[in-house]
Amino acid sequence: MKISILGTGYVGAVTGACFAELGNSVVFVDIDPAKLDLIRTGRSPIFEPGLDELLGKNLKRISATTDTGEAIRETDVTFICVGTPSNPDGSIDLQYIEAASQAIGEVLRQKESWHTVVMKSTVVSGTTAGIVQRTLEEASEKVAFRDFGLASNPEFLREGSALADVFSPDRIVIGAEDPRSREVLERLYSSFDCPKLVCAIPVAEMIKYVSNAFLATKISFANEIGNLCKLMGIDTAEVFEGVGLDARINPAFFRSGIGFGGSCFPKDVRALIAQAEEMGVLPKILQSVMAVNEDQPMRLLDLLKKHIPDLRGKRIGVLGLSFKPDTDDIRESRAIPIVSALLEAGADVIAYDPLAIANFRSLFPDISYASSAAEVLQSDAVLLITEWKGFEVLDYAGKIVIDGRRVPKAAIGSIYEGVCW
Ligand code: UDX
């Protein structure tokens, strides 16, 4: 199949490389020539383990251009993978989706052969059948499902394990309402033997949001229960081990700690809240999920202040800046509110992260950055924010350690407090 990918951010880069690996020819489109230059030489524009190798291995099936027209004319299917940032009120900003739809529509006006447009970006339910379809139809002067195909195919990729998530998915969701679009997506995924759910386009879009919202709910639930267990002197991890053994519940995403960050959970839960409110529904559970998540990092600070009540002039070590291990991504990282609060309290912060220092420095240029994790231990107290593997082998003996992620070895600190244990 000949596939064009609009947008070479996280989703576009991973999706395109994986489609090439499956034997398709893939044209990447972006407005940023620097990203395309990287792709052309087999290097990923984003950090994801294994992605450089996958791009490099499939270079003969990959091309890259800033010319949307050329890419769409030369391919049969286009995946929209552009960003959907948040508006200040939490709703999603659809300007890039609209611009992509407009650009595709203008090319489709002249294109005679059948073309299928697939929405891969995370968009709230109703977007594809609404603004996307309308813009495509107006710009192309054609009718969706009759003159060109339109479908939704949400992704469920986790940063750090995105390639495994593409090649071994739990399920593939195909939102398709015309037989040709459905057939295109079924053919594309024919080698996968996982469940494939074919549904209406708004259902596919909703599945993506509800999956993320539910996983975020599990985490906030585990954190609320974890806060209670800590007060009761009960090991919350053991509690959730027992709870997760119930097949109706499942053990995943019950790790309590300082909450969830990243580019998806916070943004998607906020967008679902905004959509519910727009529809006149009060999303009480989702609001609580966010409220618990916002309070949780502050609990780490409260625990620290229990041992060092006045943080002014104290050197506080921060281990981990990325929103989770194995990524340089700091979007919505719990390190952000924690470092802000430390600075507000007058602390002198020294931080370390194996990958995310450069990104964090752009937000916090004035804190100190260590060149090793061990250097951070030379401080009055250490906060564990991200559970990088390398932090498990440090010598915490004699240190005050406040742990937000449950790093087992850290418990040998002279004072050790886990946020929920
Ligand atoms: C998530 C979804 O898992 C993925 O399916 C979706 O496509 C994008 O959003 P990602 O943001 O890459 O993926 O990371 P994930 O591994 O899900 O973790 C998200 C956040 O939740 C991290 O900050 C992590 O530390 C936190 N988390 C996760 C917990 O606090 N406890 C858990 O039990 C699991």
Cα–Cα distance measured from residue 268 to residue 386, given in angstroms and rounded to the nearest whole number: 22
Nearest CA to ligand 1 atom 28: 253
- CB contact at 8 A, 271 and 124: yes
- What pLDDT is recorded for position 315? 98
- Which amino acid residue places its CA nearest to atom 2 of ligand 1? 158
In 131-235, which ranges are continuous DSSP H helix?
133-140, 162-167, 179-188, 201-232
Q: What is the mean pLDDT of residues 295-308?
A: 97
Q: pLDDT tens, 359-395?
A: 999 999 999 999 999 999 999 999 999 999 999 999 9
pLDDT at 261: 98
The whole-chain average pLDDT of the chain stands at 97
Q: What is the dihedral of CA 50, 53, 56, 58, to 10 degrees?
A: -70
Out of 11, 218, 260, mutate this one to test ligand 1's pocket (max ligand atoms within 8 Å of CB): namely 260
pLDDT digits over 385-401, tens only? 999 999 999 999 999 99
Whether 199 is catalytic: no
Residue 179: the pLDDT is 97
- Running DSSP on this structure, what letter comes out for residue 93? P
What average pLDDT score do residues 58-65 get?
98
Contact 110, 78 (CB under 8 A): no
What is the per-residue pLDDT across 323-351, written as a single tens digit (0 to 9) for each?
999 999 999 999 999 999 999 999 999 99
Query: Best substitution site from 18, 265, 385, 421 to test ligand 1's pocket, by max atoms within 8 Å of Cβ?
Result: 265
Which residue carries 């447009």 as its tokens? 117
**What residues line ligand 1, using a CB cutoff of 6 Å?**
155-159, 212, 215, 219, 253-255, 257, 259-262, 264-265, 323-324
Annotated catalytic residue within 18, 81, 264, 420: 264
* CA-closest residue to ligand 1 atom 34: 253
What's the 213 CA to ligand 1 centre distance in angstroms? 11
The pLDDT value recorded for residue 328 is 93
Ligand 1 nearest atom to the CA of residue 255, by list position: 33
Who's near 265: CB < 8 A, 6+ residues apart? Answer: 212, 215, 216, 219, 332
- Which residue is associated with the tokens 């006006």? 109
Give the model's pLDDT for residue 207: 98
Shortest CA distance to 44 belongs to which of 77, 20, 25?
20
Distance of CA 73 to the CA centre of its chain: 31
Closest atom of ligand 1 to CA, residue 122: 7
Cβ 65 vs Cβ 29: under 8 Å: yes
* pLDDT at 213 (0 to 100): 98
| Average pLDDT over every residue of 157-179 | 96
Give me the pLDDT at residue 13, please. Answer: 98
Q: What is the mean pLDDT of residues 41-51?
A: 95
